[in-house]
A and B are shown apart, each in its own frame.
Chain A
């Protein structure tokens, strides 16, 4: 069914189709309509789920962690300071290997207060062990949410689906809502065999020693570092799972095909602009304009950010002369996080493109297509990159 609706509504439909069983969320701009829509679905009986109006985001993820541990498919959504408030729980969910799905409606973080879009919130969680996916339009939002549950439950790692606050969450676009039958065929019910159960008593996530210890049967049980290493190793293996799930989704629903990086006019490009989220689509307008000037430019949007798809990046950028990384976040005191990850992925290549870093759109500062066009034109025609220091676009004071 095709409708014209907001990005938040698209996400809500994804959660509904995925048959989430426990939803706990706390309102925060610009996530609120997502929460409201889900509570409407539940109240109207369209979604058979327990909707818990928690008293904080820390509790929202706390409810999800417990619900998931007790065998229910759990979902929450938040933005910015709400995400930061649940930070300890974000680490917890990953270490506990719980297949929770969370939508992050990207918004800048305080202080000072902002309600507008940037990626600092989800970027600040990149080291927690969650899988991070970015959606670029409304269709991707609903499709990615559905795939996220399948991915999380296959690899037992929680998944964050990020989409731009206001730019996607509050704008209206046409998108297709798949049928429940198709989604049920794609996403079976969540049925873990180690859920909390009086019939199979266990103690979850208690204090774990630095070293290995004997369990009650005399076997060697892992220490903390072994358990945490398993999370990292499984995250790396999960890159292939993202691709496999996308392939299956495409067979059933006819959409997808670019689960790691979505590129536009990159095949013969000399200069590629890389970004996350809706910005990569805005950059396509720039690409089109510059191509008309005869400049060989392309735009690539990273769909998977964690685990970092370094192989895909290497393949995308092989033969490219210059990469311009645009990001709506910064690792304060250093560089853009995507820029640093990308350079790290390219480090061991014998031929590497020139790389440069632009920080833009923080706290929702407007991103002018003209400005992007001029930057990319300079990347094609202008001088080489002199240093690594990130350049900020649009600073006025």
Chain B
């Protein structure tokens, strides 16, 4: 007769959002101006510094790069390292008002 062993373990499986929607951490949101974005302007794969330097991997290496606002924490590294200044950090409060209108 086999005995019942519950054998609970701390065994985690992978998925996003362990810390919830980390986009809610943002005070500043990165906003991309495609007119200044090198890959957009040239139509070729180029630059992608924003993708390279994002600590959270929420920028896609696409033309144009797309930032996942559900999870972007608003650190501003992408804006700091965009060689053309195509990414600006904009106050969430300002954007919230705009989005409401």
Q: Is B14 part of the contact surface with A, judged by Cβ < 8 Å?
A: yes
Q: Is B8 part of the contact surface with A, judged by Cβ < 8 Å?
A: yes
Q: Is A395 part of the contact surface with B, judged by Cβ < 8 Å?
A: no
Q: CA–CA, A250 to B16, complex, Å?
A: 52
Q: Is B43 part of the contact surface with A, judged by Cβ < 8 Å?
A: no
Q: Mark B9-46, 1 if CB is under 8 A from A, else 0.
A: 11111110000000000000000000000000000000
Least Cβ–Cβ distance between A150 and chain B, in angstroms: 14
Which chain A positions have C-beta within 8 A of B14?
Answer: 201-203, 216
Are the CB atoms of B10 and A205 closer together than 8 Å? yes
**Which of A202, A224, A240, A241 has the most CB atoms of chain B within a 10 A radius of its CB?**
A202
Are the CB atoms of A96 and B9 closer together than 8 Å? yes
Chain B interface category by residue count: 10 to 19
Are the CB atoms of A208 and B10 closer together than 8 Å? yes
Are the CB atoms of B12 and A203 closer together than 8 Å? yes
Which chain A positions have C-beta within 8 A of B9?
Answer: 96-97, 194, 204-205, 227
The residue in chain A whose Cβ has the minimal distance to the Cβ of B8 is A230
Are the CB atoms of A230 and B6 closer together than 8 Å? yes
Q: CA–CA, A319 to B14, complex, Å?
A: 58
Q: Is A233 part of the contact surface with B, judged by Cβ < 8 Å?
A: yes
Q: CA–CA, A228 to B24, complex, Å?
A: 34
Q: CA–CA, A205 to B4, complex, Å?
A: 22
The residue in chain B whose Cβ has the minimal distance to the Cβ of A205 is B10
Are the CB atoms of B5 and A237 closer together than 8 Å? yes
Q: Mark A186-215, 1 if CB is under 8 A from B, else 0.
A: 000000001000000111111010000001
Q: CA–CA, A201 to B3, complex, Å?
A: 29
Are the CB atoms of B11 and A233 closer together than 8 Å? no
Which chain A positions have C-beta within 8 A of B10?
Answer: 95-96, 204-206, 208, 224, 227
Q: CA–CA, A95 to B13, complex, Å?
A: 18
Task: Specify which of A204, A230, A237, A241 is in contact with B11 (CB 8 Å cutoff).
Answer: A204
Q: CA–CA, A208 to B11, complex, Å?
A: 10
Are the CB atoms of B7 and A230 closer together than 8 Å? yes
Q: Is A48 part of the contact surface with B, judged by Cβ < 8 Å?
A: no
Task: Specify which of A155, A206, A227 is in contact with B5 (CB 8 Å cutoff).
Answer: A155
Q: Is A178 part of the contact surface with B, judged by Cβ < 8 Å?
A: no
Q: CA–CA, A186 to B6, complex, Å?
A: 24
Least Cβ–Cβ distance between A236 and chain B, in angstroms: 10
Please count the residue pairs between chain A and chain B whose beta carbons lie under 8 angstroms apart in the complex.
57
Q: CA–CA, A241 to B3, complex, Å?
A: 8
Q: Which of A87-123 contact B (CB under 8 A)?
A: 95-97
Are the CB atoms of B8 and A226 closer together than 8 Å? yes
Q: Mark A226-260, 1 if CB is under 8 A from B, else 0.
A: 11011001100110110000000000000000000
Which chain B positions have C-beta within 8 A of A238?
Answer: 3, 5
The residue in chain A whose Cβ has the minimal distance to the Cβ of B17 is A216
Least Cβ–Cβ distance between A304 and chain B, in angstroms: 16
The residue in chain A whose Cβ has the minimal distance to the Cβ of B3 is A237
Are the CB atoms of A202 and B13 closer together than 8 Å? yes
Q: CA–CA, A222 to B9, complex, Å?
A: 9
Q: CA–CA, A229 to B8, complex, Å?
A: 9
Which chain A positions have C-beta within 8 A of B12?
Answer: 202-204, 206, 215
Least Cβ–Cβ distance between B79 and chain A, in angstroms: 32
Q: CA–CA, A226 to B11, complex, Å?
A: 13
Are A222 and B11 also in contact (CB < 8 A) when A237-B3, A241-B3 are? no
The residue in chain A whose Cβ has the minimal distance to the Cβ of B1 is A244
Q: CA–CA, A227 to B3, complex, Å?
A: 18
**Which of B6, B7, B10 has the most CB atoms of chain A within a 10 A radius of its CB?**
B10
Least Cβ–Cβ distance between B1 and chain A, in angstroms: 8
Task: Specify which of B3, B4, B8, B15 is in contact with A216 (CB 8 Å cutoff).
Answer: B15
Q: CA–CA, A111 to B60, complex, Å?
A: 61
Q: CA–CA, A205 to B10, complex, Å?
A: 5
Which chain A positions have C-beta within 8 A of B8?
Answer: 97, 222, 226-227, 229-230
Q: Is A156 part of the contact surface with B, judged by Cβ < 8 Å?
A: yes
The residue in chain A whose Cβ has the minimal distance to the Cβ of B5 is A234
Known: A97-B9, A155-B7, A226-B8. 12 other contacts (CB 8 A): A97-B8, A155-B5, A156-B5, A202-B12, A203-B11, A204-B12, A205-B9, A206-B10, A216-B15, A233-B6, A234-B7, A240-B3
